[in-house]
Amino acid sequence: MKVSIKLSNLYDDFRNPKTIEAYAKLIEKDAKIIDRDIGIMEVCGGHTHTIMKYGLPQLMPKNIHFVHGPGCPVCIMPKERIDHAYTLAMQPDVILVTLGDMIKVPGSNGSLQDARANGADVRFVYSPMDVLEIAKANPTKKVIFFAIGFETTTPMTAALLESVIKQKIDNVLFHINHVTVPEVMTTLMIDGENRPVENKIDAFLGPSHVSVIAGSAIYEPFASIYKRPVVVSGFEPVDVMQSIHMILRQIIEGRSEVEVEYKRAVSKNGNEKAQGLIEKYFEKAPFFSWRGLGKVEKSSWKLRDEFSMYDAEKIYSEILPTKECQDHKLCRCGDILKGLATPPDCTIFGTLCKPSNPTGSCMVSSEGACAAYYKYGNIK
Amino acid sequence: MKTITLAHGNGGYESKELVEKLFYSSFSNSILNNSEDAALIEDGKLAFTTDSFTVSPLSFAGGNIGKLAVCGTCNDLAMMGAKPKYLSVAFMIEEGFSIDELKNIIKSMHDELIKNDAMVVCGDTKVVPKGNVDKLFINTTGIGEIYYSGISASHLKEGMAILVSRDIGAHGAVIFAAREGMALSSELKTDCASLYPQVKALVDASIPIVAMRDATRGGLAAVLNEWAVSSGVAIEIDEASIPISDEVKGICELLGFEATALANEGTFVVAVPATETKKTLEILKQTNENAAIIGMVSSTYKGKVVLKSAWGTQRFLELPTGELLPRIC
């Protein structure tokens, strides 16, 4: 028997208007019982995008608020790192390769898009494995992969390095900017001296794809220590609505647990093969400077010492700028990434700072809160 | 704006900024300033337009750069209610380009000219050293004779219906899939086609066309936004009614695009009085059964396009901005 399935079969039910409306009713009922303001942080930029694209805030009762989190790999990239990319791209005989939106983020000299307009060879790929083809087609050039992303994309970079080694390709280098979710979530709960920090977060909507790799167990401390319900949610509107309902149920029943709504892809321990690949090639860096959030200890990966011959940051260390850069004085990306402000609270949102000419990084990526508000969120 | 970036060529916000700030301010005159698909000259008797074509890869599922070059210019004329008549063609060819490939491209141009009952009456050829152009660039300029006048982006009024001639985004999706090296097991082809026969069918059936535009770069979103601004009205679109093929939806899902921002090369949007909606749809369906009524003109948010979801939420459909880039994760 031949069974054919269409891609739409995979998501149609998760965008079903009747199901969305049914959850809206359940949420409204529970919100009345709770009868106080509830802030739910969606950690991941993919969720921010879903929430704004499908207009979900319009379906929420008055006392349920979305608080946008720090989980957009482009938004949290500090200018220093973009300056690294720009400098590398402008080297003769270098092809700089990165993922999607990254080429639009402004550094102190401009974005990678500007570098390209100034003659640099900058390319974006959908799959990091495409770097192999670029390297083979350009044997006289150094191909530098500017690797970005959370737990989701880290195994792909590791797999690329594994292939580079196996295939003995000698013109691929890496500039690693892979960051991890739990450490930065912790900084939203406590400061460096273990004191609780001010926030508007009563519960977390857990990331989808990060959790596929890392497993839902990574959020246990947020439920057990910080008493915040966590529901790992899928990326479709029905997923988010169901997850909000699950969070409200936990609050009503006085529970704070890690639950998984995105059961079709997430297990407690995650993808252990992918985790093994990460461990094989990477180790934790002492700290990463998150844009707007500052230095967070052990929140990023670097290549293990035995692979330093592939590390562009080491090989080009003499020419890479080290100056720390300040963001625009009026830009509130930092507060937005911490969930302390929403994009309209920022005075330059939509005026000085627009997707066509972003000042802050949250306006760049389609997963950034400011870009999502600008694009979708301006109907009151 | 200090240097030109690829975003200036996306047909969205940045292109508009470049054209308005640089070109319109220098070349300004009463004909150009109408900023229609084709200029109306000789007291509105003739339509006149030009377009340059560069596409990578040169051939793709359902067409090639030659077919695009004839369709593009003829469609710009057709969208003004003109019958395409005379074209000029200029080729810029990179040294080393295959004559066989050029023959194929010319043949496609010839076939498309026949569909439009138009002819190439002058031309130019330049060959440049290797590396100075990417294989082949083509420019076409066209003159058409107006047989239906009064079509304008600024004549939309509250209550009018908005229709689209077929499912959207096929051309943009095919090109992206080809560039990304995505192996598609489907039959997805570019929508690239000459629109004159369809427009003629509408005019022959006495449909009072108010506005009409082919949704090329910038896609459906760009056309609707231009109309909303030019006419000072709101355009309300039912998201679920926009025809999008499963293949295009799939590519958008994979790459994180919105079909409304993808380019089309043989798909047009038309605005008609509400009373003519049914008849217009019937005629459009004779060419493509996916033609659909997608929304109406209102006065809620003037100058804006409002997308309404099936579950009662709404958002603005903005002019596409920036280069189309795949999402990260």
Q: Does a structural domain hold residue A74?
A: yes
Q: What is the mean pLDDT of chain B?
A: 92
Q: Which residue among B306, B314, B326 sits closest to A126, beta carbon to beta carbon? A: B326
Task: Identify the sign of the CA torsion B306, B307, B310, B312.
Answer: negative
Instruction: Say yes or no: A365 and A235 in one domain.
Output: no
**A33: exposed, middle or buried (C-beta count within 10 Å: 0-12, 13-18, 19+)?**
exposed
Task: Give the 3-state secondary structure of residue B51.
Answer: strand
Cα separation values, B96 from A161, B101, B133, B136, Å: 37, 11, 11, 11
Residue B58, classed as helix, strand or coil, is coil
Q: What is the total count of domains within chain A? A: 2
Which chain B positions have a beta carbon within 8 Å of A25's beta carbon? none
Please enumerate, as own/partner, the contacts of A159-162 that have beta carbons within 8 Å and a separation of 24 or more.
Answer: A159/A128, A159/A129, A159/A277, A160/A128, A160/A129, A160/A131, A160/A132, A161/A281, A161/A303, A161/A307, A161/A310, A162/A277, A162/A280, A162/A281
B contact test, residue of A5, A7, A145 with most B CBs within 10 A: A7
Are residue A323 and residue A338 in the same domain, yes or no?
no
* pLDDT band at A264; cut points 50, 70, 90: very high
Tokens representing A134?
């670029």
Per-residue pLDDT, B11: 66
- Position A233 in a domain: yes
Can you list the domains of chain B with their CATH numbers?
36-146 (3.30.1330.10), 161-316 (3.90.650.10)
Chain B contact present for A183, CB below 8 A:
no
Helices (H), A127-253: 130-137, 154-166, 181-189, 209-214, 220-224, 237-252
Alpha-carbon span A275 to A269, nearest angstrom: 10
Taking one residue from A and the other from B, the number of pairs with CB-CB distance under 8 angstroms is 106
d(C-alpha A35, C-alpha A265), whole Å: 33
| Residue where a domain stops, chosen among A314, A330, A346 | A330
Interchain pair B316, A379: CB under 8 A: yes
Interface test with A, best of B13, B311, B315 (most A CBs within 10 A): B311
> Quick one: what percent of chain B has pLDDT higher than 70?
94
Residue B17 sits at the chain A interface (C-beta within 8 Å)? yes
Q: Which residues, including other chains, have CB under 8 Å from residue B103's CB and lie 6 or more apart? A: none
Q: Do A367 and B313 touch (CB under 8 A)?
A: no
Does the pLDDT value for residue A32 go beyond 70? Answer: yes
B314 in contact with A at a CB cutoff of 8 Å?
Answer: yes
Within 8 A of B323 by CB-CB distance, chain A residues are 103-104, 113
**What is the reported pLDDT for B207?**
97
A303 reaches B (C-beta below 8 A): no
- Considering only CB atoms, B246 lies closest to which of A6, A58, A152, namely A6
Q: Is some CB atom of chain B closer than 8 A to the CB atom of A28?
A: no
Q: How far is residue A157 CA from its own chain's centroid?
A: 16
Contact B5 A379 (CB under 8 A): no
Report residue B123's pLDDT band, with 50, 70 and 90 as the boundaries.
very high
Residue pLDDT, tens place only, A175-212: 999 999 999 999 999 988 889 988 899 999 999 999 99
Binned at pLDDT 50, 70 and 90, residue A103 comes out as confident
At B16 the pLDDT is: 82
Residues A304 and A317 in one domain: yes
Q: What is the distance in angstroms between the Cα of A142 and the nearest Cα belonging to chain B?
A: 21
> Which pLDDT value is given to residue B163?
98
Same domain, A325 and A243: yes
Domain assignment present for residue A23? The answer is: yes
- pLDDT, one tens digit per residue, over B187-241 is 789 999 999 999 999 999 999 999 999 999 889 999 999 999 999 999 999 999 9
Structure tokens at B168: 């959207």
Contact B328 A355 (CB under 8 A): no
Structure tokens at B292: 């659909």
Q: Which residues pair with A297 in a beta bridge?
A: A287
Torsion over CA: A110, A112, A115, A116 (sign): negative
For residues A122 and A175, is the Cβ–Cβ distance under 8 A? no
Q: Which residue of A has its CA nearest to B319?
A: A375
pLDDT at B70: 97
Residue B245: its chain A contacts at CB < 8 A? none
Residue A359 shares a structural domain with residue A234: no
- Residue A118 counted as domain residue: yes
Range from A55-59, A130-134, A262-266, B175-179 carrying the lowest mean pLDDT: B175-179
Residue A128 touches chain B, beta carbons under 8 Å? no
- Closest by Cβ to A54, choosing from B3, B5, B313: B313
Q: Which residues of A touch B311 (CB under 8 A)?
A: 17, 20-21, 24, 59, 237
Average pLDDT over residues A102-122: 88
Mean pLDDT (chain A, rounded): 92
Residues B322, A355: C-beta atoms closer than 8 Å: yes
Question: Is the pLDDT assigned to residue A376 strictly greater than 70?
Answer: yes
pLDDT at A346 over 70: yes
Q: How confident is the model at residue A4 (pLDDT cuts 50, 70, 90)?
A: confident
Lowest mean pLDDT: which of A109-123, A217-231, A305-319? A109-123
Q: Show Cβ contacts of residue A201 under 8 Å, excluding neighbours closer than 6 positions.
A: A39, A40, A41, A67, A188, A189, A228, A339
Instruction: Answer yes or no: do A356 and B318 touch at CB < 8 A.
Output: no
pLDDT tens-place string over residues B40-58: 999 999 999 999 998 888 9
How does DSSP assign A304-362, residue by residue?
A: -GGGGGGBHHHHTTTTS-----PPPTT--HHHHHTTS--GGGSTTBTTTBBTTB-SSGG
Residue A244 shares a structural domain with residue A108: yes
- Chain A: closest CA distance from residue B253 (Å): 9
Tell me, yes or no, if B181 comes closer than 8 A to chain A by beta carbon. yes
Is residue A370 within 8 A of residue A353, CB to CB? The reply is yes
Question: Does residue B214 sit at the A interface (CB-CB below 8 Å)?
Answer: no
Q: pLDDT band at B6, cuts 50/70/90?
A: confident
pLDDT value at residue B184 = 62
Indicate if the pLDDT at residue A230 is higher than 90.
yes
Q: How far is B201 from chain A (nearest CA, A)?
A: 34
Q: What is the pLDDT of residues B266-309, one digit of tens each?
A: 999 999 999 999 999 999 999 999 999 999 999 999 999 999 99
Contacts of A21 in chain B (CB under 8 A): 311-312
Say yes or no: A255 and A322 in one domain.
Answer: yes
Q: Is B57 exposed, middle or buried (0-12, 13-18, 19+ CB in 10 A)?
A: exposed
pLDDT digits (tens, 9 = 90+) for B237-271: 999 999 999 889 988 887 788 999 999 999 999 99
Q: Which of A376, A365, A372, A377 is nearest to A73 (CA)?
A: A365
CB atoms within 10 A of CB A9: 10
Same domain, A194 and A145: yes
Confidence of residue A6 (pLDDT cuts 50, 70, 90): confident
pLDDT (0 to 100) of residue A367: 78
Residue B128: the pLDDT is 95
- Is any Cβ of chain B less than 8 angstroms from the Cβ of A209? yes
pLDDT at B108 over 80: yes
pLDDT in tens, A7-17: 778 888 999 99
Alpha-carbon gap, residue A311 to A175, rounded angstroms: 6
Distance CA B12, CA B219 (A): 9
A196 and A314 share one domain: yes
pLDDT tens digits along A322-331:
887 777 888 8
Residues above pLDDT 70, as percent of chain A = 98
Token pair of A279 as six digits = 């461990």
Does residue A279 sit within a domain?
yes
Q: Which domain holds residue A179?
A: 13-330
**With 60 as the cut, is the pLDDT of residue B328 above it?**
no
B20, with CB counted inside 10 A (0-12, 13-18, 19+), is: exposed
- A25 touches B: beta carbon within 8 Å: no
80-139 in chain B: CB under 8 A from chain A: none
| A87 found inside a domain | yes
B156 vs A103, residue with greater confidence = B156
pLDDT at residue A126 in the model: 81
What's the CATH number where A157 sits?
Answer: 3.40.50.11740
Q: Calculate mean pLDDT across residues B162-179.
A: 92
**B321 vs B53, more confident:** B53
B326 pLDDT above the threshold of 60: no
User: Is A130 inside any structural domain?
Assistant: yes
Per-residue confidence (pLDDT) for residue B324, from 0 to 100: 63
**Given this model, what pLDDT does residue B316 score?**
92
Q: Are residues A142 and A131 in the same domain?
A: yes
Among candidates B5, B181, B321 on the partner chain, residue whose Cβ is nearest the Cβ of A355? B321
pLDDT classification of A2: cutoffs 50, 70, 90: low
Q: What is the mean pLDDT of residues A218-232?
A: 97
Query: Distance (Å, rounded) from C-alpha A18 to C-alpha B127?
Result: 60
What span, in angstroms and rounded, lies between the C-alpha atoms of B162 and B248? 21
B57 touches chain A (CB under 8 A): no
Three-class DSSP category at B160: coil
Selected residue with higher pLDDT from A8 and A271: A271
A36 lies in the same domain as A142: yes
Q: What is the phi/psi pair of residue B259, to 5°?
A: -60, -30
* Residues A174 and A214 occupy one common structural domain: yes
